[in-house]
Amino acid sequence: MNLPDLKAAKIRTKKEIKIIKNDYSVPISMKKIGKDKKYYIKTYGCQMNVHDSELLCAILEDMSFTNADSMEDADIIILNTCAIRENAHNKMFGFLGRVKHLKGTKPDIICGICGCMAQEENVVDSIKSKYKWVDIVFGTHNLHKLPFILEESIKNKKQEIEVFSIEGDIYENIPVKRDSKYKAWVNIMLGCDKFCTYCIVPYTRGKQRSRTREDIISEVNELVKNGYKEVTLLGQNVNAYGKDLNTNYTMGDLLEDTAKTGIERIRFVTSHPWDFDDKMIDIIAKYDNIMPYIHLPLQSGSDRILKLMGRRYTKEKYIELFNKIKNKIPNVSITTDIIVAFPGETEEDFLDTLEVVNTCKFDSAFTFIYSPRVGTPAASMENNLTEDEKNNRLYRLNELVNKYANETNQKYMGSIVPVLLESVSEKEDNLMGYTDTMKLVNVKADKKYIGKIINVKITDIKTWSLDGEIVD
């Protein structure tokens, strides 16, 4: 048994990061563990987790499990969890209740918990004491070891907990079963060293580790060869790509080399304003296959709160960067993340945030009430706001954000935009896809267009999406 330790997870040394290319294997004895059995994975949180679940699918299939349509149909259920806010915790424990109920009727079901919550001491303590029926727990650093952890649990008939709180290495060559045939996630870096004071990620995901450009570009080349149209380069703070490799090769260079592979669409998430340099902006502007869409988290518009958050930029610097991006990249869409009710946030601080929203008029924004995370510096800062005040700020912020999102959407009316049609949309018999600027579009079109980038005329504007029809 290995248990998480937040204090150990915080440590950053000068230790050299190892790139391990031969640590994934499923011994013959484990290849049939999943024969005639089905798996179901429930994924919470960010794209990094979504991509990790694609690895988990491939690993389970390597053990002969097949995909179940529903959790009721599964023999193994894995919850790939998110620790970013309290409500992610609550959702996962709520789902766990459903799994317990199911286990009451099908006791042989195996239940596993992995992802960021598995890296938290308080969560694992409670799984050990109150959820003894959970079979396996593993963390973000060892998901490729799932076959071994599973086998131990089956063999010993006891709860198996294997979580490591380490800076982390890079494991290459873990198999992947991608959700889409057209769009792919590609990790370019793991972990984060920014330690924003509210954020649990540097503890749950370890030290910043950039993959080598060779490994990344060869993955993208393989995707091009297999007909993929779009890649999203993934990392907690992609702009800092390469800073840990001690070379001069930066995110701008990586974007350029990715553009040269010829893949039709390149996106990247998430950017921290701190490392967003001019070279990156110039490269994005230069290559048509780098999409004019940037997610640029603001977090707060108050210099005082930004400082308490450890963000290392001011409101002025953010707006300066925002304007530079807008001026240099034609037709760019910029979205953001904003936290309200950070400890000590006054009405005046909050009004500063609204002012930045009024200045930037973001295409859209993800907005959150600050949620204290155990072990982070902000969790021990005093927060005197009542629940009503917190909700009221979120409400006022959302009203403003939605006003600008709606105004931006209105500008699309009647325009012709390229859309990568990726699947049948949830409602009606339409196809859905995204514009280059990341607007969701529902299109009346035949299924033969799935997987193609097509010009679409926008015919109607909805609150969260656009409607359109194919232009011949």
Rounded Cα distance between 193 and 207, Å, is 6
Nearer to ligand 5AD, 335 or 437 (CB): 335
In the window 168-197, what residues touch ligand SF4 (CB under 6 A)?
192, 194-196
Cross-strand partners of 368: 339
- Which residues sit opposite 189 in a β-bridge? 210
The whole-angstrom separation of Cα 79 and Cα 68 is 14
- Binding residue for ligand SF4 (CB under 6 A) from 49, 80, 153, 236? 236
Contacts of residue 421, defined as CB under 8 A and 6 or more positions apart, other chains included, come to 431, 432, 433, 443, 445, 449, 450, 451, 452, 453, 454
Task: Tell me which of ligand 5AD, ligand SF4, none is bound by residue 236, counting a contact when its beta carbon lies within the kind-specific cut-off of 5 to 8 angstroms.
Answer: ligand SF4
Residues 113-142 that bind ligand 5AD (CB under 6 A): none
Q: Which of residues 288-327 bind ligand 5AD (CB under 6 A)?
A: 297, 299
Peptide bond just before 408 cis, omega within 30 deg: no
CA distance 399 to 391: 12
- Choose among ligand SF4, ligand 5AD, none what residue 368 binds, the Cβ cut-off being 5 to 8 Å by kind: ligand 5AD
CB 201, min distance to ligand 5AD, A:
7
Burial class of residue 29 in the structure, from the number of CB atoms within 10 Å of its CB (0-12 exposed, 13-18 middle, 19+ buried): exposed
Of 199 and 405, CB closest to ligand SF4:
199
> Min. distance of Cβ 289 from ligand SF4 in angstroms?
26
Point out which span in 117-125, 176-184, 307-315, 365-373 binds ligand 5AD (CB under 6 A).
365-373
Q: How far is the CB of 188 from ligand SF4 (least distance, A)?
A: 14
Among 24, 40, 164, 198, binds ligand 5AD (CB under 6 A): 198
Cα angle for residues 333, 336, 337 (degrees, 5° grid): 165
394 binds ligand 5AD (CB under 6 A): no
Rounded Cα–Cα distance for residues 232 and 177 (Å): 16
Q: Which of residues 249-288 bind ligand SF4 (CB under 6 A)?
A: 272
Please tell me the count of residues contacting ligand SF4 according to CB under 6 A: 10
Q: Considering only residues 339 through 358, tell me which ones interact with ligand 5AD, judged by CB under 6 A.
A: 339
Rounded CA separation 237/190 (Å) = 9
Is 318 within 8 Å of 356 (Cβ atoms)? Answer: yes
Dihedral over Cα of 36, 78, 51, 169: its sign: negative
* Least Å from the CB of residue 340 to ligand 5AD: 9
Q: Which residues bind ligand SF4 (CB under 6 A)?
A: 192, 194-196, 199, 201-202, 236-237, 272
Q: Which residues bind ligand 5AD (CB under 6 A)?
A: 84-85, 198-199, 297, 299, 337, 339, 368, 370-371, 373
